[in-house]
Amino acid sequence: MGKILVVAEPVACDPAEALLAWCEPSRLGSWYLPDAGFECIESTMGQSVSEPFVVSWVGPDRLKTSHRGQLRAYDAQAADFSLELVIENGDDSGEPTVVRFVAKPQREGCLLHVEIEAPEDLRARDHIRVDWTLRLRRLRDHLEALSPVDHDDWYERVSSGPKFHSQFGGFWTDRNDAEALLEGKRELGMIDDEMSERLANWIQNGYARFEGGVSKDAIAAFHDELDGLWDRGHPELMVELSTPDGFKYQPIHQDVRNVPHKLLDLHGYAKSARDLFMVPAIEKFLSALFERPPMLFNSLMFEYGSEQPLHQDTAFVPLTSPMEFVGVWIALEEIVEGSGELIYVEGSHRLPEFLWDGRARACAHGAKTDDYYVWVALRCQDLGLTQRSFCAQAGDVFIWHADLAHGGTARVDPALTRRSLVGHMCPVNNTPEYWYRMPHTERIPTERHTYYCHQRRGL
């Protein structure tokens, strides 16, 4: 035998189907033709694929060509079989040509036709190569039409990759392989054991707690600066008041200090407020979570409990990357039961997504929210999640996932305060939605590799 040609064609199919396509005459005739103008005149097959088969053709010149096949090997587990074909030319011009066909039709596999005797003449050799290539392509199309689902399985395996719990993305801790990423970071020395435990709790329950994360001296400095702002006033530092007609806003002034209120973006006007959010415990945790410098982009100072129903911040704190931010809550005094203390629901950061208008995580201005509050409470109940309260000591810090359901209990004793400072922080490259419609500062760096920005009201 002279030189050997090898012709191959990629295919995804079931090996049994590939075998039958070669051995079963009716199927063989659907894709195999020796050449244009040939007509099948005979096809026989034994009782099983292991018995010989014969397919005979006659061409325009009426000469007969027969292919007599015999299965020589078949391994279903390896998805491999070989056939020996004897090609007999009716003109008796020479010895029959013996070829071997090897199929490895595994997914991502190949149909191979090997041991084709190659004539010395290059044109004749190219003709044989093209002839068999076209046949194998027809065979491939035939087989893949029988099992198109195999393509789906293959593409699923090579394109699945990691997925986020939310269709809007999130941090690495929100991926379905977060535990593996966490272990990898720990093994590589990127985080220590303590940080690993905090992040593991974050992945599972959606929050992190730091007892005494802020020092009493830092809180005292904050109160001193805050007293000065109440005394002096500031035209841009706004107080939010709840009235029967809705929310009312006015510049900070002593006459509303002792009624329920919120101070908006106090961090923009009091360095001591910014310092509370930039303490090492918070900065270190958020840097590990964000993998980028953190930025404080809004804050709320509460004198009394909010009594807000369970909710997720994603509904009311819009950003261009809606899942990439956290809430940071700092106790400025001892929080006692009955003061409207903070409540949260463990694991609620994995609730099904609530989409406003069927397309966004945040509600548009003026949207009705009553049904949303009911939805959050019912979903937490349906999943049997545990609700907890946080009666903190001054300086304790609670950081929550953007989707963690939280709120405030009812104020049983109206005289009790719940003095706390809440901020929302995101990676420095995320953008608050208010940047597109409100006066605001740029991203302002601090000396601690963190940033802040805020709205500018009262202008």
What tens digit of pLDDT does each residue of 181-193 get? 999 999 999 999 9
Nearest to 419 by CA among 261, 235, 192: 261
- Tallying the residues shown for the chain, one arrives at 459
**Is 321 within 8 Å of 350 (Cβ atoms)?**
no
Mean pLDDT check: name the lowest of 13-22, 219-228, 349-358.
Answer: 13-22
Integer angstrom CA distances of residue 162 from 127, 156, 199, 320, 455: 47, 12, 19, 22, 36
pLDDT at 246: 80
**Phi, psi dihedrals of residue 128, rounded to the nearest 5°:** -65, -45
State the pTM of this model.
0.70
What tens digit of pLDDT does each residue of 55-74 get? 777 777 777 777 666 665 55
Residue 74 C-alpha from the chain's centroid? 43
**What is the rounded distance in angstroms from the CA atom of residue 165 to the CA atom of residue 351?**
9
**What is the rounded distance in angstroms from the CA atom of residue 71 to the CA atom of residue 82?**
6
Which residue did the predictor score with more confidence, 45 or 359? 359
Tokens of 148: 């198109």
**DSSP structure string for 399-450:** EEETT--EEE--BSSTT----EEEEEEEETT--BGGGGTS-B---EE-TTS-
Count CB-CB contacts under 10 A for residue 158. Answer: 9
Tokens of 360: 């966004």
Going by pLDDT thresholds of 50, 70 and 90, the confidence category of residue 148 is low
pLDDT at 178: 97
Which residue did the predictor score with more confidence, 149 or 163? 163
Mean of pLDDT values over 419-448: 96
| Burial track 83-96 (b if 16+ CB lie within 10 A, e otherwise) | bbbbeeeeeeeeee
Nearest to 8 by CA among 161, 158, 133: 133
For residue 23, give the H/E element and its range. helix 15-23
pLDDT at 104: 53
Going by pLDDT thresholds of 50, 70 and 90, the confidence category of residue 38 is confident
| Burial track 33-71 (b if 16+ CB lie within 10 A, e otherwise) | bbeeeeebeebebeeebeeebbbbbbeeeeeebbbbbeb
